[in-house]
Amino acid sequence: MHPPEILGQLAIAAAAAVVLAIVFTRLRLPTTIAFLAAGALVGPNGLDFVHESESITLLAEFGVVMLLFAIGLEFSLSRLAFIWRPVAIGGTLQVGLTTGIGIAFLVLVAGDTPSRAFLFAVACALSS
């Protein structure tokens, strides 16, 4: 990819991010979601204004690292200490129910073996 082409694609991605950030701010939604939506909108699986290339992939991975860094800066251990019990109960229920429903579906509807159904259901529960 030639430098002018990648600069144009970066300009399109940045413009989409700014526009959606303004809209999301007015709707009182997090700007992080706006940035993710902008990437999905203009990327290869959306309107395809930004084509997949090695440079774009590298910049996208760098963006994910920066996003995780920003989340880490906003993370509060004191808040986690305050809400740990509902989070632990909710997480346990989510994994347990998703696993149970997955096993039931795979064994009863798909006719899979219980051991394979358990493995697949746990994988699905932990990835959601």
65 and 104 assigned to the same domain: no
List the structure tokens of 70. 């920003």
What was the pLDDT predicted at 79? 84
Tell me which amino acid residue 117 is.
A
For 2-60, what is each residue's pLDDT tens digit? 677 778 888 888 899 999 999 999 999 988 899 889 988 998 888 888 887 787 788 88
58 and 11 assigned to the same domain: yes
| Whether 16 contacts 38, CB under 8 Å | yes
Tell me which amino acid residue 12 is.
I
For 110-123, what is each residue's pLDDT tens digit? 999 999 999 999 99
| Whether 44 contacts 52, CB under 8 Å | yes
Q: Which residues contact 96 (CB under 8 A, 6 or more apart)?
A: 125
**Integer Cα distance of 115 and 117 in angstroms:** 5
Q: Which of 32, 50, 74 is the last residue of a domain?
A: 74
User: How many domains does the structure of the chain reveal?
Assistant: 2
**Integer Cα distance of 1 and 28 in angstroms:** 38
Q: The domain containing residue 23 runs over which residues?
A: 3-74
69 and 87 assigned to the same domain: no
